[in-house]
Structure 1
Amino acid sequence: MKQVKTIKNKILSHSEKSFEPTLIIYREALKFTVDVVNKEWSILEGSSTKEAIRIIEKLMHQTKSNPSPKYNFTLCFYKFPSYLRRAAISKSFGIVNSYRSNYKNWENEKSKAIADGKAFNKKPSKLGVDYNEFPVFYKDNMFIRTDVDEAKIKVYLNHDWVWVKVKFNNKNLKNRNITDWKENNPTLIKVGKKYFINFSYEKEIKLNKTKLKDQTIISVDLGITNSAVCSVMRSDGTVIGCRFINQPLEKDRLRITVNKLKKAQRLSGKIEAPNYWRKINGLQNHIKVNTAVEIVKFADLHQASVIVFEYLGKMKLPSGVYGAKRLRHKLHYWSKIGIQSKVEEMAHYRGIRIRRVNAKYTSALAFDGSGEVKRNNKKDLATFKSGKVYHADLSASYNIGARYFVREILKSFSEKKRLRLKAKVPSIVARTRLTLASLISLHQALSTKGALTKA
């Protein structure tokens, strides 16, 4: 599978005034090309991006063989670099294609609602007017690398396209292992008042193909009290390690900041409060990245083949909860999504696979198969029916790993053999009731027949 990573490098040698005109004229050109693509959609619909670029260039680019195009782009944007023009057309084709597709879906939803006699209040999608896109500097045409931390780029300055030498911070390039990655064309990015050159790299990575009986997995429960609880498990249900990951200081600061934000909104109405949100987003990002890094480190330590998560599904907000508590619930859900996405990205770089299992009852059932548990007020401890007290998230991580192995083992058998196994191990019939005890029982049933080696 193809993997892509982007490395951001801050430009050190120039002020924002040097690059602002380039950004403005590129976005004006993008606005022009979006309008052209939208007007000519009847002849572009169903075309590939390459075909669309050829058709649109003929409609708007003035040349000797095409002296009078239908839309004179050259007159409006004199000496506009050819590769940048094609990049703008390509981006415009994607924007209009997305808009047309969304509008068609809206029309279908509306027709279906009217046919069913239901009210339909959903508004149609609109084609944007302003686009916060950034220009790509194609190599040789607009970008020439002169040193590891220097380059010449073509920018729009003083009403002309000129070459400018820039120096950028290459610390991020040094810290990343990119020797065997292919470097793509860089992009000029603006963050706040600062400009960066973003280099993207791509590589074809083969994910591991470890046999199921030889697999060691990391099962992860993204809990309430801890950011993540990880367990190392083998195919026979043996747990050989666990890890608790949490950021108590950051979470405490996040709770305080959220409370301050909601208090300010109670006093002043629904204000934007950018300073509060900057702090909240910064703390959220730290929790997400730190948790993902620790999970992948733990996987590397135990040479894991697979990392298993729960399916998150749609966010369900508790009824009757408002204010700061409701916002904290949203932030917790968004953090879970961010952690899974970041782990998936980092794991694939290392050839580790990602799998997800049904989340229902993973925390509610005891891993020893004794049934449902009772959790304390803090939701961190669970009392089994036998009276044993265990960490709730750790028990859930055992069940998550077990569900993965049971699913994969049963997948390799025919329906006839699966029915025989279900008769011998009734606990595997309902997938939402699977626990670690179910996996151990299944393994024992298979071992007596010597069937595990076939799996």
Structure 2
Amino acid sequence: MQKVIRTDRWSLAASQEQRKMVQETVALYRAYARALIGVLWVHQREVSGPFPVAAVERLIHATGRNPNPKYPFFDRRFPKFPSYLRRAAIVAALGQVSSFSTRYDTWAGGQRKRRDALPPRRTGENTLNPPLYRGQCARFDKPYHTAALKLWSGTDWIWSTFRITGKRHRHEVSTNKALSPTLLADGRGVKLAIPFKVSVQSPSRKAVQRVCGVDLGIRKTATASIVTADGTVVARQFFHRGADIDRRDKGLMRVRNKARQTMGKSGKLCAGFCKTMYRKARHRNRDMAQHLSRDIIAFAQEHGAQAIVLEHLQGYRPRAGRKGSTLRQRFHGWLHRLLAQRVMERAEEAGLLVTFVNQAGTSEYAYDGSGKVKRDPRNWSWVTFATGKRYNADLNACYNIAARFFAQVLGIGRKAQACARGKSSATQPRIPVTLSTLWQHAQAIVAEHEAPTTALA
């Protein structure tokens, strides 16, 4: 049993007065952390022991055993500051100071991307959000209709009740455990980021009998097929968001036209050129990855797949078309890594195994074992097998991707001959594993079981 953390954002309905209290609470917490960072720059070595939070509290907070702290400023500037928030701010400040020290030591040690790289900058500014510990700073009713938060009113810490207007479904799962939320105030409303501890159990590789092979392409964003261990294709589906891709590409085309008008045939663009359009393109890609990953996981669960198989494309740089062609731009917008990352995150929570296989030859060889395929020169979405059969290139690839997973698990590799022998002097041709490899393996198993019966007869 494995435990993962997933966070939901819940929207809260807040009046103008409540929004003001939330903003003041967030600003006060950030000011407290900023003041702590200044103290930790001076006393970093003193608080580097086994109990750093207690060591910092002795410097800033007065108690019966510690009536005269070295920095009484904190108790005067931040009166009645809750102890839970104080310790959370100390931990956050310690993390920022430690992060800067690590980055500076790395720079001072000569590990730099460029020879003239500047040292990291030390700053007290931060965008931290206050964590609200359950029972102490946040309370929820059982149906999760309202939330009571402890906020700073300007003179005192008081409880304020908010109505929950939007939430997801992780709280409805009995095995999920809700942790302490974090208060968010980004200027567009009040939200709570609530982490959930999710218990998942992924199947072992040897126990998988049905997988979902996914091919990430350029013409079709994703193509998936459900394949069993004996090579049976149970289902298949195309996933493509053409409207979103058109909007993204049109926006990037406007960037291209503006660049031509700005610098002509030669020259340089200023820093931050068309940053708004680039930001919109990134957000569209992120939104497409979110929707497509959800659809792929739903497709796999609908047909009983226990694992999702993807091509190992990390660091892969495809060869684009000629300079100035649209193919180069389409490769830049390819969602091969972003979509794979989203699928991994969703599959982990759904209890599905995610694995990667070698991408070489998945689209180059026919799934029926007839050898190399020939691309249609007018439409690269179609290929022609050596037998003359025309087939979709992406479907052919996703069959082979799923077959490679079972080939690894069953240990059949290149034992099964996929096509006629080539010019190589090896005893077996160097043909990558295809779907036909599973067919031949299943037929061999059936023949082994039937052979003793035939001999007895």
What band does the TM-score fall into relative to the shorter chain? 0.7 to 0.9
Residue 435 to residue 272, structure 1, CA distance change in 2 (3 Å): same
Deviation at 1:127, TM superposition (A): 4.0
Relative distance call for 1:424 and 1:205 in structure 2 (3 A) is closer
Deviations along 1:310-354, one digit per CA (max 9) or x if unpaired, are 12212537576569765543332xx33332232223223332111
User: Is the CA contact 2:38–2:124 (under 8 Å) kept in the aligned structure 1?
Assistant: no
CA pair 339-383 structure 1, distance change in 2 beyond 3 A: same
TM-superposed CA distance for 1:432, in Å, is: 9.0
Task: Give 2:159's aligned residue.
Answer: 163
**1:416-455 per-position Cα deviation (integer Å, ceiling 9, x unaligned):** xx8xx856659999999332233434444566557xxxxx
* Distance across 2 between alignment mates of 1:279 and 1:315: 25
**Superposition deviation, residue 243 in structure 1:** 0.8
CA distance, structure 1, for counterparts of residue 431 and residue 43 of structure 2: 52
- Give the distance between the partners of 1:239 and 1:311, measured in 2 at CA: 22
CA contact (8 A) 1:403 1:431 kept: no
2 CA distance for matches of 1:135 and 1:446?
61
CA distance in structure 1 between the aligned counterparts of 2:137 and 2:314, rounded to whole angstroms: 44
Tell me if structure 2 keeps the 8 A contact 1:188–1:198: yes
Aligned pairs for 1:337-348 within 5 A: 337-348=337-348
TM normalised by structure 2 equals: 0.81
Code of the residue aligned with 1:33 in structure 2: it is: L
Shift of 1:285: 3.4
Match of 2:195 in 1: 200
- 1:133 aligned onto 2:128: yes
C-alpha change, 1:236 and 1:264, in structure 2 (3 Å) is same
Letter in 1 for 2:247: R
Structure-1 separation of matches of 2:110 and 2:258: 40
Cα deviation per residue 1:265-284 (whole Å; 9 max; x = unaligned)? 44455555565356434532
Please tell me whether residue 436 in structure 1 is matched to residue 435 in structure 2. Answer: yes
**Residues 171, 178 of structure 2: 8 Å contact kept:** no
In 2, the alpha carbon distance for the partners of 1:429 and 1:157 equals: 78
Q: Distance in 1 between matches of 2:47 and 2:432?
A: 52
Alignment of 1:352-367 (within 5 A): 352-367=352-367
Conserved 8 A contact 2:418-2:434: no
- Equivalence map 1:92-103=2 (5 Å): 92-103=93-104
Equivalent in the alignment of 2:266 = none
Structure with the bigger percentage of helix: 1
Partner-residue secondary structure (3-state), 1:433: coil
Secondary structure of the structure 2 residue equivalent to 1:41: coil
Task: Choose the corresponding residue for 1:188, options 160, 166, 183.
Answer: 183
Say if 1:379 and 1:31 are closer, same or farther in 2 by CA, change over 3 A: farther
Deviation at 1:173, TM superposition (A): 4.2
Match of 2:455 in 1: none
Q: Percent identity?
A: 27
Q: Retained in 2: the 8 A contact 1:258–1:328?
A: no
For residues 263 and 132 of structure 1, what CA distance do their matches in structure 2 show?
A: 37
Question: Could you say what secondary structure the match of 1:83 adopts?
Answer: helix
Q: Distance in 2 between matches of 1:431 and 1:308?
A: 23
1:25 aligns with 2:28: yes
Runs of 5+ consecutive residues of structure 1 not aligned to the other structure:
114-118, 411-417, 451-455
Inter-partner Cα distance in structure 2 for 1:299 and 1:360:
24
Does structure 2 retain, via aligned residues, the 8 Å contact 1:317–1:326? no
**Tell me, which stretches of 5 or more residues in structure 2 are unaligned?**
263-268, 420-426, 450-457
TM-score where L is the length of structure 1: 0.82
Q: Contact 2:25/2:151 (CA < 8 Å) preserved in 1?
A: yes
Name the counterpart of 1:413.
Answer: none
Match of 1:81 in 2: 82
Checking the alignment, whether the CA contact within 8 Å between 1:262 and 1:323 is kept in structure 2 is no
Partner of 1:414: none
1:233-272 map, 5 Å: 233-267=227-261, 269-270=269-270, 271=272
In the superposition, relative to structure 1, how do residues 305 and 266 fare at CA in structure 2: closer, same or farther (>3 Å)?
A: same
* Aligned equivalents of 1:285, 1:351: Cα separation in 2: 23
Contact map agreement 1:358 1:432 (CA 8 A) in 2: no
In the TM superposition, what are the counterparts of 1:264-413 in structure 2 within 5 Å? Answer: 264-267=258-261, 269-270=269-270, 271=272, 273=274, 276-277=277-278, 279-314=280-315, 316=317, 318=319, 321=323, 328-332=330-334, 335-375=335-375, 376=377, 378-410=379-411
Name the CA shift for 1:145/1:311 in 2 (closer, same or farther; >3 Å): same
Post-superposition CA distance 1:199-244 (Å, at most 9, x none): 22212222234744x6100010111111210011111222222111
In the superposition, relative to structure 1, how do residues 331 and 17 fare at CA in structure 2: closer, same or farther (>3 Å)?
Answer: farther
* Separation (CA, whole Å) in 1 of partners of 2:91 and 2:323: 46
Contact 1:425 1:442 in 2 (8 A): no
The amino acid across from 2:133 in the alignment is: Y
Give the match for residue 422 of structure 2: none
Is 1:220 matched with 2:221? no
Corresponding residue SS for 1:11: strand
Could you give the per-residue CA deviations for residues 63-84 of structure 1, whole angstroms, max 9, x where no partner exists?
2312333444334322221111
Structure 1 distance, partners of 2:87, 2:217, is 47
Distance 1:122 1:318 in 2: 31
Aligned residue-pair number? 428
